Amino acid sequence: MTTILAVRRGGEVVVAGDGQVSLGQTVMKGGARKVRRLSPGGKEVVCGFAGSTADAFTLLERLEKKLEASPGQLARACVDLAKDWRMDKYLRNLEAMLIVTDGEGLFVLTGSGDVLEPEHDVAAIGSGGNYALAAARALMETDFSAEQIARKAMAIAADICVYTNGNLTVETVRK
């Protein structure tokens, strides 16, 4: 249970994730890092994950290998990962979602084989994702920067979703 939000604006993409780890109705940890930087082949890629942490780490490792095999081709690496995720007997049981960006492409990956490019330059996943998405879409009509939008939208989600806190990890990647 978490909230990950990505906002693209002004030549940069900001990915923000809350730090709450919940087990059922209990908060187990408040400062987890669910947004990570990968640097396969020298190109910066930022990933945020929601769902099972072990499952997400498995997917991030696989994504990194795909990016090493196809340097600079984020879309191809994401599609290859989604294919494996859907077709592989072991991987198809993994319960996580990813938001991935290199500053140019922005994708949401799911276990059902989806590689989605968001509309309106905003994407969100996790239990508070819909709250953060709605807030960010409304804030896109302001003059705020991508980071300001992400921080304000995440604060709104944290106020609404009991599985989201205000302890944020924010990473920015530029074109």
Check if 2 is active-site: yes
The CATH architecture of the domain made up of 3-174 is 4-Layer Sandwich (3.60)
Q: What is residue 88's predicted lDDT score, i.e. its pLDDT?
A: 81
Q: What is residue 41's predicted lDDT score, i.e. its pLDDT?
A: 63
Q: What is residue 53's predicted lDDT score, i.e. its pLDDT?
A: 86
Catalytic residue among 2, 101, 164, 172: 2
Q: Which helix (H) or strand (E) holds 140?
A: none
Q: What is residue 73's predicted lDDT score, i.e. its pLDDT?
A: 92
93 burial (CB, 10 Å; 0-12 / 13-18 / 19+) is exposed
Q: Which of 117, 111, 136, 113 is nearest to 16 (CA)?
A: 136
Contact call for residues 75 and 69 (beta carbons, < 8 A): no
Q: What is residue 85's predicted lDDT score, i.e. its pLDDT?
A: 87
Q: Could you tell me the maximum CA-CA distance found in the chain, to the nearest angstrom?
A: 47
Q: Which helix (H) or strand (E) holds 130?
A: helix 129-139
Burial 102-130 (b: 16+ CB within 10 A, else e): bbebbbbbbbeeebeebeebbbbbbbbbe
Q: Give average pLDDT by consecutive 10-residue segment, the chain, 175 residues.
A: 94 96 89 89 87 89 92 93 86 88 95 91 97 98 98 98 95 93
Amino acid at 42: G
d(CA 45, CA 50): 17
d(CA 13, CA 104): 8
Q: What is residue 112's predicted lDDT score, i.e. its pLDDT?
A: 84
Of all residues in the chain, what percent are helix, strand and coil, respectively (each to 5)? 40, 30, 30
Q: Return the SS3 of 39.
A: coil
Contact call for residues 31 and 18 (beta carbons, < 8 A): no
**pTM across the whole model:** 0.94
Give the list of residues 6+ apart from residue 58 with CB closer than 8 angstroms, or none.
Answer: 91, 94
